[in-house]
């Protein structure tokens, strides 16, 4: 990766951090035959049983069509199941299937280990300020 010579270039540093985080997570999830979006989707459904596809898409920041394809592959793999509620046949609720439940603990450990690495790199007295600054950066980018 090309680095800038300007030590004050925050967007480059942020990008390099995101790339390093993604690479670390990608390698670990690859062993489970998942990508980051699939793992995040499984975690979301585990935390919100019966959620709708639209809710999952919003959480992931993806279009419904993109999530549809992701859901199809996770259903085919036996990790998720879709149920049509009797009171509304136009929607499908999402639930973790038994095979998916086995992955949830592994996925949770991977993301927990990542959080531990990040926390270890930032002194405890600086974490709140870092979180506030990251929130401000995100808000500015979403304007």
C-alpha 41/C-alpha 98 separation (Å) is 16
Tokens of 62: 């993806």
In the chain, the DSSP E strands lie at: 51-52, 80-83, 93-96
Q: Tell me the pLDDT tens digit for each residue of 59-87.
A: 999 998 889 999 999 999 999 999 888 78
Distance from CA of residue 97 to its chain's centroid? 19
pTM: 0.79
Across the beta sheet with 51-52, what order do the strands follow?
51-52, 93-96, 80-83
Name the band, by pLDDT with cuts 50, 70 and 90, for residue 3. Answer: low
Q: Tell me the pLDDT tens digit for each residue of 13-39.
A: 999 999 999 999 999 999 999 999 999
pLDDT number for residue 4: 57
Name the band, by pLDDT with cuts 50, 70 and 90, for residue 2. Answer: low
pLDDT number for residue 26: 93
Q: How many CB atoms lie within 10 A of CB 31?
A: 9
The label of the residue with tokens 């985080």 reads 21
| Whole-Å CA distances, 68 to 24, 37, 45, 86 | 26, 12, 14, 21
């Amino acid at each position: 990766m090309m680095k800038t010579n300007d030590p004050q270039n925050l967007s480059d540093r942020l990008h390099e951090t995101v790339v390093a985080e993604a690479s670390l997570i990608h390698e670990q999830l690859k062993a489970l035959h998942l990508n980051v979006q699939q793992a995040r989707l499984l975690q979301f459904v585990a935390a919100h049983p019966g959620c709708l596809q639209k809710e999952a898409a919003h959480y992931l920041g993806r279009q419904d069509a993109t999530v549809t394809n992701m859901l199809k592959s996770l259903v085919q793999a036996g990790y998720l199941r879709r149920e049509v509620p009797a009171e509304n046949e136009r929607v499908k609720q999402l639930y973790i299937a038994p095979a998916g439940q086995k992955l949830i603990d592994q996925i949770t450990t991977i993301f927990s280990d990542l959080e531990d690495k990040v926390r270890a790199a930032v002194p405890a007295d600086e974490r709140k300020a870092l979180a506030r600054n990251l929130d401000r950066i995100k808000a500015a980018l979403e304007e």
